[in-house]
Chains A and B, each alone.
Chain A
């Protein structure tokens, strides 16, 4: 692993039971993510992009292999330490935004900061600054159901960034958006990445979106190419 890598994995193997058989989705994946880079992982549906992102985000364990977050083996520490790693070092953007419907946009963005133990005032300040950056401040008091799909995804990006993580993992972040909004979101990702030197790992099957990343890796037959 290079010194600069903020997130890396080695020899990741993951298989799922399907009916009576075992399907090996990842067959030894190695990856390093350096600070500030935008990395696109492409591949057809079912190629294992989401599984790889979940393993990189330590949301599920690999069958074999090591995931390192800032050089620490994420699966050799306790669950509460792993939760702290997810909170401080990683951010997540999901295809369907997954904002909590009972909370306003501002409160949704505040949540990771509150989980990190910051005061309500501090969390609100950080969330408001990010909403300003993603041009959503006028919608801060709205509930997710009252804003558009593009706005929800921008709010999800703001939520992923509020704890200033080293890496943001985005699984098909534009999968639910039209072409115009997809490009706007990609512009936003690029601006934020260069402004805060945060790395983005985007799992997408859109070649157009991937072409705007710094590096493109293709996941095929369980391996990255």
Chain B
């Protein structure tokens, strides 16, 4: 089963998904450990599972996801992955950890079928 988030080819949003899609998103370090300390979706707290995983449903229209990441190695490259229901994972984004700013966020546009 494929992942739900896909890049927005127009560049207006970070990702597109079908409205109502269930997304499992997690972070991982490249060489060290990474975790999510806190997360919010549309200004509402999102619970963190296993210290590094988020589960949420994409609503129609603009969704704003933000989370703060923690890494064991301040110089690590952080990967943001989506896990599909059958256990596959796809890298959505990767970036160098910034000790100045552990916050990352994405705009996800939910498309009504």
**Chains A and B form a bound pair:** no
Q: Which residues of B contact A (CB under 8 A)?
A: none
